[in-house]
Structure 1
Amino acid sequence: MIKMLVCDFDGTLDGGSSHGVNRLFDYLTKQPDIRFIIATGRTLPSIRVGLASNNYPKPHSIISDVGTRIHHNHSQKPDHIWHNQLESSWNKSKVESALAPLDFMGERIENHQGDYKITFEGKLSDPQYEQIESSLKLHGVDVHLTYSHDWYLDITPRGVNKATAIHHLLKQHKLSVEEVCVAGDSANDTAMLTIKGVNSILVANHYPEVAHLSDRDNVYTSRATHAEGVLEGLKYWQLRTGASR
């Protein structure tokens, strides 16, 4: 039985037709046992604006900043337990010092930065990405790198991403991985789409960088795009788990 739906926002829910959003909203309204969660690379202020732009379902929790921040309920109360765990493993100034000698890092737009996340924007070649890894290693900096959309480089504490944030929510709600659907479209969704045992949805408009995930047994690739693709995938996994209505 599916008890939680975790969705990326940009390109997964957002970007399609309002009709598709309305269909997903109506479907989830009729299935109150399914907790709806947003998992995005956006900051919390940014995803608040995004969610207000259409008839999106109200999330029970928001995982923002590529998994480094979690807020609960419609009041968006911060998850202090999660944030305190990250505090002890994050040294922003050390990361900045390690990358300072590199002149190709791209732009750091202020409102895209997070408390436990640094985001650079710009195209990186494979050799440049390898230089970043080498420089961080040389300076003894152990972090998690996520390069997505062939443009965004997110740097977060080691082992922290959308997947680890989801595992934190599963413990809170005493749910198993098999009771969860996750939906995404790009590389910063890879960690959650490949959680062992999870029911994954790759919307039809996914980026080429994640196309290979379609070969996995736990990944359903929708024929529809955006929110309609999420709904299609959710219904598929509900049938597979014997909980269709």
Structure 2
Amino acid sequence: MAKFLFVTDLDHTLVGDDLALEKLNQWLSEQRQNYGTVIAYTTGRSLPLYQQLIAQKELLEPDILMLAVGTEIYYPGSDTPDSEWTAKISPGWDREKVVEIAKRFPCFVFQPPLEQTSFKVSYYTSLDGLAVTIPPLKSMAKNQGLAVQTLDCYGGGFLDILPESANKASAAIYVQQRLGFTDEQTIICGDSSNDLSMFENMLCPAIIVGNAQKEVLAWHEKAPLGKRYLAKNHFASGILEGLEYFGFYRG
């Protein structure tokens, strides 16, 4: 078994089945120790919210931590994000201007402070609200010289506004290239709409866990065939199933 880059979402992907998580953790730990496998977490959580999760769940210490939907990248022993990545995603981003523009739309309700980061502005909203507001919001942002993207999660109930060049896919590709892993040496795992950027834009094997959101399942049904596997099992058990399918794991 050669080393590989293991990239996984946390909530409802890696986390959700404690027994399966323990089994996967043991295997990943052995792969890291014996072959140099790199473990990378990618999540919409901010650093404080990630710290809350690891206080509740038995997670392995990652080699790479991609937080706030890929807008922050951390390495072990540091609370400071990767400055090179920060510089790459900064052009066209002004958080204060984004917040001012979003104030014009009453259907956007600011999420709590722990959900907010320097490069992610997060709101509660509705699917109907998104359909009406996203086009003018993007137009206003462009008129002010901003380059942003919008990401609706969980069926339109949540909205993240990010720099145009930052999401889970771009962060994972940056890490992949920085560490010298090929697509054949990389595997990605996810369940939700903020994982779609990875499924859509990365050419490596991809595992969609069986409990994936309906938006992801709908995309999977319509998208061209690729190196992806829709697991029958949920959470970490689905990851193990996918790893076995792609030949990384032998149960």
When normalised by structure 2's length, the TM-score is 0.88
* CA contact 2:93–2:146 (8 Å) conserved in 1: no
1:41 to 2:47 alignment: no
Pair 1:79-2:96 in alignment: no
The answer (yes or no) to whether the contact 1:44–1:64 under 8 Å persists in 2 is yes
Say if 1:133 and 1:75 are closer, same or farther in 2 by CA, change over 3 A.
closer
Matches within 5 A, 1:5-84: 5-14=6-15, 16-32=16-32, 33-73=36-76, 75=78, 78-84=81-87
What is the identity, as a one-letter code, of the residue corresponding to 1:20? A
Structure 2, unpaired ranges of 5+: none
**Count of residues in Structure 1 that have an aligned counterpart in Structure 2:** 241
Contact 2:20–2:237 (Cα < 8 Å) also in 1: yes
Which of 196, 221, 224 aligns to 2:233? It is 224
- Pairwise CA RMSD: 2.0
Alignment partner, residue 200 of structure 2: 194
TM-score of the two chains, using structure 1 as the length reference? 0.90
Pairwise CA distance, 1:39: 0.4
1:62·1:76 contact (CA, 8 Å) conserved in 2?
no
In structure 2, the CA distance between the partners of 1:89 and 1:130, relative to structure 1 (3 Å rule), is closer
Tell me, in whole angstroms, the C-alpha distance in 1 between the residues paired with 2:234 and 2:52: 22
The runs of at least 4 aligned residues of structure 1 exceeding 4 Å deviation read: 74-77
Farther-moved stretch of structure 1 (224-233 vs 49-58): 49-58
User: CA deviation digits over 1:74-110, x for unaligned, max 9?
Assistant: 5555311112223343211221222222111123311
Do the aligned partners of 1:107 and 1:122 also contact (CA within 8 Å) in 2? Answer: no
Give the match's secondary structure for 1:103.
coil
Shift of residue 138, structure 1, vs aligned partner: 4.5
Tell me the amino acid that sits aligned with residue 148 of structure 1: C
Instruction: Specify whether residues 2 and 128 from structure 1 end up closer, same or farther in structure 2 by C-alpha distance, changes over 3 A only.
Output: farther
Structure 1 residue 235, shift from structure 2 partner:
2.0
SS at match of 1:154: strand
- Deviation, 1:127, is 2.3
Kindly indicate whether residue 137 of structure 2 is the aligned counterpart of residue 132 of structure 1: yes
Tell me the SS of whatever aligns to 1:78: coil
The one-character-per-residue Cα deviations of 1:3-25 (angstroms, maximum 9, x if unpaired) are 011111111112x2210110111
Structure 1: runs of 5 or more not aligned? none
- What amino acid is the match of 1:43? S
Sequence identity percentage: 26
Partner amino acid, structure 2, of 1:198: C
Alignment match, 1:153: 159
